[in-house]
Amino acid sequence: MIEIVYKIGMVPVIAVLGIVLGLLYNGIDRKLAARMQSRVGPPIIQPFIDIKKLLMKESIVPRHAIKWLFNLMPVLALSASLLTLLYIPFCGIGPAFEGYGDLVLVLYLLVLPPLAITLGAFASGSHYATIGAQREMVTMISYELPLAIAIVSVAWLLSMANPSLPVFSLSVISNNPIWNFTTPLSFLGLLIIFIALLLVIPGELGKTPFDVAEAETEIAEGVFAEYSGRNLALFYLANAVRTIAIASLIIAIFLPWNLSTFFNFSYLSLLFDALFFLIKLFVIIFISSVFIRVIVPRLRITQVVSTYWFYTTLIALLGMLLIWIGCCLKG
């Protein structure tokens, strides 16, 4: 009974933290990108200001839109993003919900927000949104393959090390750092897998150079061309929460260590673990979002497909091969 009450109580806490941290890191992201481009940039709290303004405005529904679908998709995107966060270790504590196959569930949940964006764009009846939706679908299909290869490789490595472990449980993965089970060759393979996942993040989040579904200078915001007011705010919040969820997933798999594991902070352990988690979160977001966005211009949709289907997939397959060889030599 106590465990059930604890889980129910954690839901609003994690939801609020996910939204606040997502908007905060979005503001830091924009400020750092501006500084790296010799611009002043907006204030860090600008995302909070944008959300407040959008929530106060009316959501306009196009005349030819499928209204119920058009209005439902922003709610679905935000709900799926928040639900994803509940299954991932967060701020130095275990996930609010967990199970033996929650890693597989998280992969399915991550598909829902871009799918909701696609359906909402199709439902709007806009030509610009339709083009953006087609690009969103192509991008999603492209990065899912290297993402699946990376996750299967991690689970495979853990199962080879200890067949009795439920290898698709994020709690098990975060409590048993996979780097501890590697040989020199499989360590290299795991590092390559890590790099492949970092390349997947900007595509998953629709960040430059993979923001072809929006491309405001080409297709007038594409998938969001007809969205405004509260509906647009929900999509904005969903993207912010999904940023935290995906970065937290990478941390749970590849960087699960807490400071309390190495140092005795007594009753302050949770605080220091949370601060350490936020630092890791910043590093992941900076490398996979800010840095890549600043140094690489927007790609064409054909380049996005080749980047993920060819180069990133080959990188992921190379990592899987090295992990397999390393495990075989060890065995």
Where on the phi/psi map is residue 106: left (φ > 0), alpha (ψ -120 to 50), or beta?
Answer: alpha
Helix 269-285 with 229-254: angle, nearest 10 deg: 110
Whose structure tokens read 């119920």? 68
HSE-up of 177 (CA within 13 Å, CB side)?
10
Q: How far is CA 173 from the centre of its chain?
A: 18
Instruction: Select from 5, 30, 4, 2 the least CA-distant residue to 243.
Output: 30
Helix (H, G, I), strand (E, B) or coil at 90: strand
Tell me the C-alpha to C-alpha distance, in Å, between residue 29 and each of 32, 133, 288. Answer: 5, 25, 11
- Cα–Cα–Cα angle for 242, 240, 307, rounded to 5 degrees: 60
Residues 219-229: tens digit of each pLDDT: 766 787 788 88
Q: Residue 25 and residue 41: Cα distance in Å, rounded?
A: 14
| pLDDT score of 257 | 82
Q: If we measure between CA atoms, which residue out of 228, 239, 176, 160 comes closest to residue 205?
A: 239
Domain that holds residue 125: 2-330
pLDDT digits (tens, 9 = 90+) for 89-114: 877 777 777 777 788 888 888 889 88
Q: What phi and psi values does residue 218 have, to the nearest 5 degrees? A: -110, -50
pLDDT at residue 192, as a whole number: 92
State how many domains the chain has. 1
Cβ-based neighbours of 281, under 8 Å, separated by 6 or more: 21, 25, 244, 247, 248, 251
CA dist., res. 111 & res. 145, Å (int): 12
274 contacts: CB under 8 Å, gap ≥ 6? 91, 92
Read off the pTM: 0.89
pLDDT tens, the chain, 331 aa long: 666 776 777 778 888 888 999 899 888 888 888 888 788 878 889 889 989 898 888 888 888 888 888 889 999 999 999 988 888 887 777 777 777 778 888 888 888 988 898 888 888 878 888 888 888 888 888 888 888 888 888 888 888 877 777 777 888 888 888 888 888 888 898 999 999 888 888 888 877 777 777 766 667 667 877 888 888 899 889 989 998 999 989 998 888 887 776 667 666 777 777 888 888 888 888 888 878 777 777 778 888 888 888 888 999 899 888 888 877 776 5
What tokens were used for 100? 């033996």
Query: Taking a C-beta distance cutoff of 8 angstroms, is the pair 138, 216 a contact?
Result: no
Q: What's residue 218's pLDDT?
A: 65
Distance in angstroms (rounded) separating the CA atoms of residues 216 and 154:
37
d(CA 204, CA 289): 11
Q: Quick one: which of 110, 81, 67 has its CA closest to 231?
A: 67
Dist. CA 51–CA 7, nearest whole Å? 28
Task: Assess whether the previous peptide bond of 209 is cis (omega < 30° from 0).
Answer: yes
User: Are 214 and 224 within 8 A, CB to CB?
Assistant: yes
